[in-house]
Amino acid sequence: VPSTKPSKPPPIEHVNMNPMAATRNAAANKEEVLILTPLSKFYDEYWKNLNAFTYPHELIELGFIVPRGKEGNAVLAEVEEAVKKVQSGPKNKRFKKVHILRDDHDMPVGRDEKERHALSAQKARRGSMALSRNSLLFSTISPTTAWVFWLDGDIVETPATILEDMTGHDKPILTANCYQRYEGGVRPYDYNNWHESQTALNLAASMSEDDILVEGYRELPTYRSLFVYEYNEHGNKNTETELDGVGGTALLVKAEVHRDGAMFPSFPFYHLIETEGFAKMAKRLGYQAWGLPNYLVYHYNE
Amino acid sequence: VPSTKPSKPPPIEHVNMNPMAATRNAAANKEEVLILTPLSKFYDEYWKNLNAFTYPHELIELGFIVPRGKEGNAVLAEVEEAVKKVQSGPKNKRFKKVHILRDDHDMPVGRDEKERHALSAQKARRGSMALSRNSLLFSTISPTTAWVFWLDGDIVETPATILEDMTGHDKPILTANCYQRYEGGVRPYDYNNWHESQTALNLAASMSEDDILVEGYRELPTYRSLFVYEYNEHGNKNTETELDGVGGTALLVKAEVHRDGAMFPSFPFYHLIETEGFAKMAKRLGYQAWGLPNYLVYHYNE
Ligand SMILES: Nc1nc2c(ncn2[C@@H]2O[C@H](COP(=O)(O)OP(=O)(O)O)[C@@H](O)[C@H]2O)c(=O)[nH]1
Ligand SMILES: Nc1nc2c(ncn2[C@@H]2O[C@H](COP(=O)(O)OP(=O)(O)O)[C@@H](O)[C@H]2O)c(=O)[nH]1
Ligand SMILES: [Mn+2]
Ligand SMILES: [Mn+2]
């Protein structure tokens, strides 16, 4: 597996004064965006879509974290080749910097759709995803990062202006609505964006410390109101709605939210883990999560 | 205020493969140590002591976070001058890199010893300290960081071999015992290192969600067993003891603990905040905190 070691920095001091502010005029203010993607499968469509982003690439850093093992090695080779091509291509298409990391733990469950979506697998799987996200975040965020954009590697279609559009809402945490193209139409995909319900709160209150509540399972009815169903094809793309739980498919976060400490709990935090726990933790830090119900991004259809 | 902007990195990719492991043979294995210090006052004694560390300086990065405002500006000028001197001095004394950040929020309470130690001030003060620590940590930790050493800016005396000594214990989290020189003798200083008690757990269980338990206050008797009193001047310096709560005066943490997500909660986490909350969060992530009761470091005597 090829690897490029960072060159030794100069021995003189390196002073980073003020962390960069994140505003609604992100591109004009030259605000840096760090796009973070946990990557267990490399889709050409994801890469093409990402490279078509109109936000100035010189303000974008990319960060990937790839699983260990044989499959991970293959993904790594693919992403490295793709990165090399872009970074040695036309200047205006090059990204500021690309970080590639490996997981430091094995994934506890299979990559198969059925297997990884079983309710019984969620605590282990999403706990492990949380560790991957945290490692990636802690290793790549810098004082000059203004925004962190979490973009799953199987998001194969978004508006090219997604960074301008989403930063324009000036929210601490903001998610797009994740659908899937299906038989000529679309269907909901990401159920992790929701508004809290009293039923779920009561359920959580009755649980033992180590139990978790995950959304989107018949076996665990929460009666939470699901953001994914708020999509209205004739609605205003700029409609905003407050959320209590979020997913990570296309999630924009002001870097200060993470710098204040908001991370992805791999342990039950208010009986929530990973991205859903992140939204709750951010809330405890004083930050509200929002969603754009009519702003769609599309998940690969396996 | 002088500031040096980081030079623009090359547009080609920068690949950081595996996070660095932390082992008991840290220096021999060329493991990088990131020393992090929230700094509201600059003591020459702290700086001299730090510069005398025998651990190879080329493996050490320093990170400071300095308060905003006039007093902060003065501290900044002092630390910048000190850093410049060292980084342009003898090569073997230079550090690998130095990061200097500013708080992005104001400190809620005065710097006076009485004021900042009042029980009523703890939630605001230590919540704010937690935010400073998190910003500092998120902005400076990198994939090549093996260890993070939290060292308060008023720790004016430690063994020069403290990094070799403490990494040698190979613990995920390890604190020294913080005392103060006083009238020719020594006296206990840091009460944040402790073993949990049933009284404190009962107290916490009876509290409302937003209440916190802090250690070291007569008004809030917890009957926790305090690490600071376990010091035995004739005892073995290598004696280890498990801890449930830790302080941040001289605290060594394997970088993977932070990378997994362990941070300093500014909100009550199991009714604990800042460093004490960090120990609990690390525990939830599967990491045990330890202390060296007979290994002393000394706090400045105001
Ligand atoms: N580093 C890493 N990334 C993973 C792992 N498993 C999944 N991913 C990536 O994490 C994101 C979310 O995972 P995915 O399985 O698509 O979740 P789902 O769409 O909710 O079923 C995708 O970008 C995956 O490529 C893993 O074990 N390690
Ligand atoms: N950045 C920053 N550092 C601070 C602030 N207040 C204290 N510190 C530093 O944080 C560390 C712990 O604070 P200190 O007041 O000494 O805590 P105490 O010894 O427990 O009373 C010391 O290194 C201080 O210099 C602050 O508002 N901002
Ligand atoms: Mn997916
Ligand atoms: Mn102090």
Does residue B9 lie within any of the structural domains?
A: no
Residue of A nearest to B131 (CA): A260
Q: What are the residues whose beta carbons fall under 8 Å from the beta carbon of B232, sequence distance 6 or more?
A: B293, B294
Residue B1: pLDDT above 60? no
pLDDT tens, residue by residue, B47-67: 999 999 999 999 999 999 999
Q: Which residues of chain A have pLDDT under 70?
A: 1-17, 109, 111
Residue A240 lies in a domain: yes
Return the higher-pLDDT residue of B154 and B117.
B154
The answer to whether the CB of B274 is under 6 A from ligand 2 is no
Residue having the nearest C-alpha atom to atom 28 of ligand 1: A67
Whether B49 maps to a domain, the answer reads yes
In a domain, B100, yes or no: yes
Per-residue pLDDT at B302:
84
Ion ligand 4, residue ranges at CB < 5 A: B 154
Q: Is A152 in the pocket of ligand 1 (CB under 6 A)?
A: yes
Residue B14: what pLDDT? 56
Place of tokens 């990061």: B99
pLDDT, tens digit, 9 for 90 and up, residues A198-249: 999 999 999 999 999 988 888 889 999 999 999 999 999 999 999 999 999 9
Note the ligand closest to the C-alpha atom of B300. Answer: 4
**Is A45 part of a structural domain of the chain?**
yes
Model ipTM value: 0.92
The answer to whether the CB of A215 falls within 8 A of the CB of A274 is no
What is residue B59's predicted lDDT score, i.e. its pLDDT? 98
B104 vs A252, more confident: A252
pLDDT in tens, B233-284: 999 999 999 999 999 999 999 999 999 999 999 999 999 999 999 999 999 9
Residues from chain A contacting residue B98 (CB–CB below 8 Å): 13-15
State residue A15's pLDDT score.
59
When pLDDT is averaged across residues B100-109 and rounded to a whole number, the result is: 86
State the distance from the centre of ligand 2 to the C-alpha of B39, rounded, in angstroms: 6
pLDDT at A1: 31
Residue B2: its pLDDT value, please? 35
Total domain count, chain A: 1
A131 vs B: CB within 8 A: yes
Please answer whether residues B291 and B246 qualify as being in contact, where contact means their C-beta atoms are separated by less than 8 angstroms. yes
Domain of residue A169: give its range.
32-299
Reported as a pLDDT band with limits 50, 70 and 90, residue B15 is low
The CATH number given to whatever domain includes residue A268 is 3.90.550.10
pLDDT of residue A16: 62
Query: Could you tell me which residues come within 8 angstroms of residue B5 by beta carbon, excluding any fewer than 6 positions away?
Result: none
- 8 A C-beta contact, residue B157 and residue B297: yes
Cβ–Cβ < 8 Å for B116, B255: no
Q: Is residue B3 part of a domain?
A: no
Q: Which atom of ligand 2 is nearest to the CA of B248?
A: 12
> Predicted confidence band at B9 (pLDDT cuts at 50, 70, 90)?
very low
- Evaluate whether residue B2 is within a structural domain: no
Predicted pLDDT at B239 = 98
pLDDT at B107 over 90: no
Q: Residue A230: what residue type?
A: E
Nearest atom within ligand 1 for CA of residue A39 = 25
Task: Output the pLDDT for position A121.
Answer: 86
Q: Is residue A175 part of a domain?
A: yes
Give the C-alpha separation, B213 to A203, whole Å.
Answer: 27
DSSP string, B170-239: --SEEEEEEEEEETTEEEE-----EE--HHHHHHHHTS-TT----SS-TTS---PEEGGGG--TTS-TT-
A80 contacts: CB under 8 Å, gap ≥ 6 = A2, A100, B13, B15
Greater confidence (A1 vs B9) lies with: B9
| DSSP-derived 3-state class of residue B96 | coil
Which of B36, B39, B156, B299 maximizes ligand 2 atoms within 8 Å of its Cβ, making it the mutation to test the pocket? Answer: B39
Within 13 A of A119's CA, how many CA atoms are on the CB side?
A: 11
Residue type, A74: A
* The two three-digit tokens of residue B188, written as one number: 């206990």
How far is residue B90's CA from residue B81's CA, in Å, rounded to a whole number? 16
Label residue B172 by pLDDT band (50, 70, 90). very high
Q: Do B143 and A95 touch (CB under 8 A)?
A: no
Please report the pLDDT score of residue A97 as a whole number: 95
Q: What torsion do the CA atoms of B264, B269, B275, B278 make, to the nearest 10 degrees?
A: -70
- Name the closest residue on chain B to residue A1, using Cα atoms: B17
- Establish whether residue A107 lines the binding site of ligand 1, counting it when its CB lies within 6 angstroms of any ligand atom: yes
* pLDDT at res. B215: 86
- For residue B297, give both structure tokens: 């470091």
